[in-house]
């Protein structure tokens, strides 16, 4: 968080030419893997993310089963080559945290009680990271779950907003994330407006928080259309 870097241009646009409330370009494709039960590939700016679903299937070892409901297990990982300096492979504190919050968000929409004793495995692989990978991963995983046919009450859509140079902006890029003042990743259930993930890094005043929240939620509705479109294209292709 460093205020010295100039992130907003004289012409009122951001360094990458976006307006304050403009998303990076997003592309979603459902059903890209043959071996997984469901999958989705998502590009969001320079982020490249793949989500794969296995299950619901019987959970082993059996002592880990829940006799009342399915367990949702999420594993978010970033490839060594996903960031400019090689990332040490394997789990770390950050990926453990992201896996936890994404898994909990997804569990809130899956009808887990319909599949006692089973597990639904959600794998999120980040091939290229450029800030906002948790919202990209969650958005992709939700499409992949629908592609797998896992019964869910709704899709989940995620997006972040934040603050750079005392200005609230949507969907921070890497430079904005590094040099900005706050980041607010959020996820909602678009059909109900319910918030299923919200984290905050940095500081926002209550008014800035409300503005950032509204910006992120509005963007989620745009992304929701892209998720539905990816699923429609997937099933039209069959
Ligand atoms: P998110 O990707 O959800 O925004 P963070 O705010 O923790 O999550 O990370 C912001 C960005 O910082 C990531 O998208 C990635 O580009 C970069 N980053 C995260 N971890 C590492 C790492 N170990 N090495 C280099 N860059 C990283």
Q: What is the pLDDT of residue 4?
A: 67
Atom of ligand 1 nearest to the CA of 177: 10
* pLDDT recorded at residue 14: 96
Residue 10 falls within a domain, yes or no?
no
Q: With beta carbons less than 8 A apart as the criterion, state whether 204 and 190 touch.
A: no
User: In the β-sheet with 71-78, what is the strand arrangement from edge to edge?
Assistant: 26-30, 38-44, 47-58, 118-128, 71-78
Q: What is the dihedral of CA 203, 208, 211, 214, to 10 degrees?
A: 30
Domain limits at 42?
Answer: 26-233
Is residue 2 domain-resident? no
Give the tokens for residue 236: 């039209």
133 touches ligand 1 (CB under 6 Å): yes
Taking the CA of residue 130 as reference, the ligand 1 atom at the shortest distance is 16
Number of structural domains (the chain) is 1
User: The CATH number of the domain where 124 resides is what?
Assistant: 3.30.230.70
Enumerate residues 6+ apart whose C-beta is below 8 A from 163: 169, 180, 181, 182, 202, 203, 204, 208, 212
* Residue 163 domain-assigned (yes or no): yes
CA of 129 to the centre of ligand 1 (A): 7
State whether the Cα torsion 109-152-119-229 is positive or negative: negative
Which of 177, 178, 184 maximizes ligand 1 atoms within 8 Å of its Cβ, making it the mutation to test the pocket? 177
Does the beta carbon of 87 sit less than 6 angstroms from any atom of ligand 1? yes
Q: Ligand 1 atom closest to Cα of 92?
A: 23
Ligand 1 probe mutation, 131, 135, 159, most atoms within 8 A of CB? 131
137 lines ligand 1 (CB under 6 A): no
Closest residue CA from atom 12 of ligand 1: 131
77 belongs to a structural domain: yes
19 lies in a domain?
A: no
Q: Give the containing element (helix H, strand E) for 202.
A: strand 201-202
Would you say residue 135 lies in a domain?
yes
As given in the structure block, the two tokens for residue 73 are 């297990």
**What sign does the CA torsion over 225, 196, 149, 52 have?**
positive
Residue 151 Cα to ligand 1 midpoint, Å, equals 31
Q: What is the DSSP string of 114-129?
A: GSTTEEEEEEEEEEE-
Mean pLDDT by 10 residues, the chain (238 residues): 75 95 98 98 98 97 97 98 94 97 98 98 98 98 98 98 97 95 98 98 97 98 98 88
Domain-embedded: residue 122: yes
Asked if residue 170 lies in contact with residue 210, where contact means CB atoms within 8 angstroms, the answer is no
pLDDT at position 5 is 75
**6 lies in some domain:** no
């Amino acid at each position: 968080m460093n205020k010295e870097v100039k992130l907003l241009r004289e012409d009122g646009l951001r360094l990458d030419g976006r307006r304050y409330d403009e998303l990076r370009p997003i592309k979603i494709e459902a059903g890209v893997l043959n071996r997984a039960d469901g999958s989705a590939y998502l590009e969001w700016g320079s982020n490249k993310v793949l989500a794969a679903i296995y299950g619901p299937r019987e959970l082993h070892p059996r002592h880990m089963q829940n006799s009342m409901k399915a367990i949702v297990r999420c594993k978010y990982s970033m490839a060594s080559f996903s960031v400019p300096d090689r990332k040490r492979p394997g789990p770390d504190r950050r990926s453990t945290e992201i896996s936890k919050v994404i898994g909990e968000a997804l569990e809130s929409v899956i009808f887990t009680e319909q599949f006692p004793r089973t597990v639904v495995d959600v794998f999120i692989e980040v091939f290229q990271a450029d800030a906002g990978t948790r919202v990209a991963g969650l958005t992709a995983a939700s499409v992949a779950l629908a592609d797998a046919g896992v019964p869910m009450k709704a899709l989940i859509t995620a997006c972040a907003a934040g603050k750079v140079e005392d200005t609230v902006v949507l969907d921070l890029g890497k430079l904005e994330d590094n040099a900005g003042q706050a980041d607010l990743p959020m996820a909602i259930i678009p059909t109900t407006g319910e918030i299923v993930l919200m984290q905050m890094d940095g500081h926002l005043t209550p008014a800035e928080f409300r503005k950032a929240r509204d910006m992120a939620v509005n963007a989620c509705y745009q992304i929701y259309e892209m998720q539905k479109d990816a699923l429609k294209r997937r099933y039209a292709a069959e």
